[in-house]
Structure 1
């Protein structure tokens, strides 16, 4: 009895065999029974008791007696997955699914392996299959949302994360991803709202403050961004992205002394980060000293010859200096490292040289590499607009809108392009959509008022001008209108 109690508490099967070999001489079904009793305790405790290899062996010992033991198969696969042994984990998760097509955890782990290997289509197929069996699989819905964000399908991703929260209001990671998703579509108030909720729920306060900093930075509120980045560092002094972003934010504010303090105390981990070590060159650029900036970048040619950002920074500097041939050479050299960036740079050189068709060709090449990059289509649209080809400009703007349907900037752009093209009614429809997206923006009410005034709806236009003034009572373009409105209201007061 004492020995059996000891055995029940012991996790290493090899030791059990030595202490009481008779137990391991039972009939086959009795051996399996013993392993069934122990396997659950192993899954809970063995990770803390034994090293990785011994843990793997213990799981394999169990599977020798029952190769279709679903719990142990999953435990072993998960152990491999957690140690990034994806080759070993992959077939085990597949076998779990074969044994139980409704086994949700195997689908999600296998999907994560596919995502890590950039096999997105296979991941999506697996996750959708899991949702077919497990309609409320939060992890599957969440991962599909993450994939949407990676593919710039921000609206679709946002809906999935909201669905996760409906299923589980405490699903912490969905709040983070909603904060990121809303930032991507420039809905900053929503982004801050969800990131603050993430901050309340998460243990990783550093990441929460860092993401808030990114949202503030995206809307050019750099002082608030710096405060958030500093908070991130208070919670985790090794949050080097926050450290770097503080430095860059000070440069944007032209507070070069403060930026240089951070540069002088740079952590070792940032010494091989071109963005960070090249910050001095960026400061020179901000100061308009492009020749000095170019000379600064040139010294890194040997160290960062395989970093596309080196060629991009130097090429951009030459472009600003008006040395278009040198810029073209830099972009051409960087083309093999990260083509989409350099096709875009080469296109900019062509625009300056008024080689518009060649510029469009370079951008089309870039879009073949990165078909979901909205900025490429936007640049093509702007080239067509600059050359008076409004139909093409509008068509490429619609391609941008397909990628980011609720992006306020592209909605306003389509309104303006349709207005230039003489379609005032369609222009007004787009501006109305802009108001729906950002109802506190006085510019949108004003522009919509102008458009419907052109369409002959004077009374309705006046209501929108009043709405503009209710948000900003000193709106410059409505100065005369506000005076006239005041006189009218004064006359009404006198008549009463």
Structure 2
């Protein structure tokens, strides 16, 4: 290890020229085992070209060592030198002990370029040679997972779990949970998340488990996991939104608002936090507080349609007509139009007795709301009040089609 310390220092400094000279000298002076160790170190630090140089030297010295060819092929693939990689692997004979690993490397390559059937064929060929090899079974499971064959992948991983809990540092319980979750089989995923959490309550696992419990409507357990998550990692930002949503489903709106405001305190630039806080504030009847949150969301994204619509609806419902018109004018200055505001603006101008502007927005809204009976009824009475009888007839005709059981429209037409 002491011989590697100078290399580590040079790599951390990023001095490529000096590193090249040191590697050349090392290859002349040190034994093959030391050289192989250097190749591992260079790969670990991301100096792939230098690692290839080291392995090529060893391959020249020991052309019969197929493991060196596999190592080189894997590094060539990292550099997108597919032809060089395939040439290396093609030099490995079928009777070689390393042939199954070569097949697995080929499978990784074909999987990477999207040729999943070819990749699966290579893995199956390797499994036929080494039927009891867990790494090959795991590789097949990962391929099935990536191609959306979740149930097959989970079953295969469960077979592996029966004999061992980890494989090359991978927690198989957690892997099975992730596979089931990817296939939306959250009920099946939960026992495996629970098993994984018994080993280590890692933040990401707590979040995934919380999400799974949320999906199966076990909100109390979801909240427990998410609170634990935020205790150990207060900067796990997505946890705040999920926790707030969980409390909202439990109708614990005060706790939901508290959770999302904690999230805002951690990440004041997340517009979705403000939108959710605005919605919850409205549920709690805190209109001014809701307005403030929604204004913040729009300040972060002037074209945030969800926040704009909810704030517009709030202004309309509270008959804050001037505020609604100001919001529209501000958006218009930003060259942003939102047609869902037109019916609300028509009502606002009508209440302010600005009938020409009201008529303008009723006409604009009419284009996209010809099947909205509630809007058409309001528009109809506005037209009748304004003496626009011919236009009113058109609206009545549409209402007759939409609500043929309502005799009022037929009586009105007569």
CA distance, structure 2, for counterparts of residue 174 and residue 324 of structure 1: 52
CA distance, structure 2, for counterparts of residue 104 and residue 357 of structure 1: 60
Match of 1:97 among 120, 124, 129: 120
Match of 2:256 among 198, 212, 225: 225
How many aligned residue pairs are there?
Answer: 298
Contact 1:209 1:232 in 2 (8 A): yes
User: Residue 229 of structure 1: CA displacement?
Assistant: 0.5
SS at match of 1:271: coil
Match of 1:9 among 14, 38, 41: 38
CA distance, structure 2, for counterparts of residue 158 and residue 144 of structure 1: 8
Structure 2 unpaired stretches of 5+:
1-28, 91-100, 125-136, 160-175, 199-204, 352-357, 379-395, 408-414
Change (3 A) 1:36 1:317: same
CA distance, structure 2, for counterparts of residue 291 and residue 350 of structure 1: 23
Which residues of 2 match residues 214-253 of structure 1 at below 5 A?
A: 214-218=245-249, 221-251=252-282, 253=284
Change (3 A) 1:326 1:257: closer
Q: Tell me if 1:178 matches 2:201.
A: no
SS at match of 1:57: coil
Change (3 A) 1:59 1:75: farther
SS at match of 1:36: helix
Which residues of 2 match residues 62-461 of structure 1 at below 5 A?
A: 62-66=85-89, 69=102, 71-73=104-106, 89-91=113-115, 93-100=116-123, 103-111=140-148, 126-131=149-154, 133-134=156-157, 137-145=176-184, 157-162=185-190, 164-165=192-193, 168=196, 172-182=206-216, 190-201=218-229, 203=233, 205-218=236-249, 221-251=252-282, 253=284, 255=286, 257-259=288-290, 262=293, 269-276=300-307, 280-290=311-321, 293=324, 296-297=327-328, 300=331, 303-305=335-337, 310-315=338-343, 318=346, 330=365, 332-333=367-368, 346=372, 349=375, 359=402
Query: Which residue matches 1:447?
Result: none
Computed over aligned residues only, the root mean square deviation of the Cα atoms, in angstroms, reads: 4.8
Contact 2:248 2:256 in 1 (8 A): yes
Contact 2:177 2:192 in 1 (8 A): yes
Change (3 A) 1:316 1:281: closer
CA distance, structure 1, for counterparts of residue 285 and residue 86 of structure 2: 64
Q: Deviations over 1:401-431 (max 9, x none)?
A: xxxxxxxxxxxxxxxxxxxxxxxxxxxxxxx
Contact 2:55 2:68 in 1 (8 A): no
Q: RCO (CA 8 Å, sep 6+): is it higher in 1 or 2?
A: 1
SS at match of 2:335: coil
User: Residue 65 of structure 1: CA displacement?
Assistant: 1.7
Q: Deviations over 1:31-56 (max 9, x none)?
A: x321335678x6xxxxxxxxxx9934
Q: Tell me if 1:25 matches 2:60.
A: yes
TM-score by length of 1: 0.46
Contact 1:90 1:110 in 2 (8 A): no
CA distance, structure 1, for counterparts of residue 373 and residue 123 of structure 2: 53
Change (3 A) 1:28 1:215: same
Change (3 A) 1:242 1:7: same
CA distance, structure 1, for counterparts of residue 339 and residue 329 of structure 2: 9
Q: Deviations over 1:170-217 (max 9, x none)?
A: 6545533334325xxxx5xx3133232233257464322322212334
Contact 1:205 1:235 in 2 (8 A): no
CA distance, structure 2, for counterparts of residue 351 and residue 77 of structure 1: 62
Contact 1:226 1:246 in 2 (8 A): yes
Contact 1:298 1:314 in 2 (8 A): no
Contact 1:127 1:140 in 2 (8 A): yes
CA distance, structure 1, for counterparts of residue 266 and residue 281 of structure 2: 21
Query: Which residue matches 1:35?
Result: 69
Q: Deviations over 1:49-99 (max 9, x none)?
A: xxxx99343677444422784554566678xxxxxxxxx6422x4433232
Segment of structure 1 superposing worse, 256-265 or 350-359:
350-359
User: Residue 250 of structure 1: CA displacement?
Assistant: 3.6
Change (3 A) 1:237 1:97: farther
CA distance, structure 2, for counterparts of residue 298 and residue 6 of structure 1: 71
Change (3 A) 1:296 1:264: closer
SS at match of 1:272: coil
Change (3 A) 1:207 1:134: same
Q: Which has the larger radius of gyration?
A: 2
TM-score by length of 2: 0.53
